[in-house]
Amino acid sequence: GLRNLKDTPSALKVWGEKSVATLFHEMNVLTPRELDARKEIEFENYILKIQIEARTMEDVVKSMIFPSVIDYQNKLITNVQGLCSVLGEKGGKIAAKGQIELIQRISEHLNKMKEAADCMLMERKAANKIEHSEERAIAYRDNVRVHFDEIRYHADKLELLVEDEMWPLPKFREMLFTR
């Protein structure tokens, strides 16, 4: 029967089944040995693609998003401190309520994004130590790729919180209206 194969490692695992190898062999498409070699190459390709995406994501997060978000946060902090020095501690905190809440929201997303990026890096290093390509591909799917959506989620939230001039990447709404 048909199975629900949602990812590359699951689909490639099917190639290892005797019925599939027999079918390919009987149809003179690939010998079992050739099919096995192709499967190995496809596992390696999958690993490489996820590895490149993870490394790129780590690089963008650490070298572009973090510094820009921290610069913006520092700008807000300076504003809050200025209000407090002009209006007094109590008056300044009342006047800066919105900025203080924004600083807290930015910190939450920044911390959660960093945790996910650090965890992804740790899992990637662990997966790279696995010798068998099928097991390594499964580790990349189950332990590395799972962090992509969380990192993107927090990056999307930060994109909405940080002022346009300080955000290092094209904002989604800007991309919608480019020609």
DSSP codes of every residue in 108-129: HHHHHHHHHHHHHHHHHHHHHT
The 10s digit of each residue's pLDDT in 125-161 is: 999 999 999 999 999 999 999 999 999 999 999 999 9
The 10s digit of each residue's pLDDT in 44-68 is: 999 999 999 999 999 999 999 999 9
* Rounded CA separation 12/147 (Å): 22
Q: How far is CA 83 from the centre of its chain?
A: 37
* Rounded CA separation 61/164 (Å): 17
Joined together, the tokens standing for residue 18 give: 């005797």
Q: Residue 2: what pLDDT?
A: 55
Distance of CA 145 to CAs 66, 139, 164, 176, Å?
Answer: 21, 9, 29, 26
